[in-house]
């Protein structure tokens, strides 16, 4: 698949997501403007779609299109890519990320609560999900990520997971975390 196909797959995930979310969460999420987009510095190139709540019921300093969001990555990415938190290669991933200390994420004031939410969500979502904190100079960057491994057993379209698989897992991630972020 070329970049255009990967970006199309990411857009399809968002379209299916709305059908997959529980009723209490439908209509509350939007794509970040200009998404999906590709990363030319990733080898091979992959596409990324960031998703955020449409209404910011959580503290307004929390959600930010550069730092705090849900994301679907489509295409091979690995440990050699500095923006990816895991030391493995995968064909795609579904993730929530929040770095410590960035101005768009409340300057670290939500860090402990987010770590608790992500840890709890990881426990409820299962063993395919990874919670990790990547050390940074101003504090750890937190991720809850589900990687789709090249040898993984999931429905595929070519070497990538189907848009439906990605959307279902993204909906599960949102359902496991977003209500807790509102508290």
Largest CA distance in the chain: 43
Q: Is the pLDDT of residue 93 over 90?
A: no
Question: What's the CA gap between 82 and 73, in Å, rounded?
Answer: 14
Mean of per-residue pLDDT scores for the chain = 77
pLDDT tens column, 31-45: 888 888 776 565 556
> What tokens does 38 get?
């590709």
pLDDT for residue 167 = 93
Mean pLDDT for 171-175 is 94
pTM, two decimals, is 0.85
DSSP state of 43: S
Mean pLDDT for 81-104 is 64
- Structural contact between residues 46 and 75, judged by C-beta atoms closer than 8 angstroms: yes
């Amino acid at each position: 698949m070329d970049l255009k196909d990967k970006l199309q797959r990411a857009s399809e995930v968002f379209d299916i997501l709305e059908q997959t979310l529980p009723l209490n969460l439908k209509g509350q999420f939007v794509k970040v403007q200009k998404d999906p987009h590709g990363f030319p510095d990733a080898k091979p190139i992959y596409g990324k779609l960031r998703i955020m709540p449409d209404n910011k019921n959580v503290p307004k300093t929390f959600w930010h299109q550069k730092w705090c969001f849900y994301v679907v990555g489509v295409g091979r990415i690995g440990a050699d890519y500095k923006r990816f938190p895991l030391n493995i290669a995968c064909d795609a991933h579904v993730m929530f990320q929040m770095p410590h200390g960035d101005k768009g994420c409340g300057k670290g004031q939500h860090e402990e609560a987010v770590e608790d939410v992500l840890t709890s969500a990881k426990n409820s979502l299962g063993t395919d999900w990874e919670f990790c904190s990547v050390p940074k100079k101003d504090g750890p960057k937190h991720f809850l990520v589900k990687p789709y491994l090249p040898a993984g057993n999931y429905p595929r379209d070519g070497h990538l997971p189907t848009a439906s698989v990605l959307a279902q897992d993204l909906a599960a991630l949102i359902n496991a975390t977003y209500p807790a972020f509102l508290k």
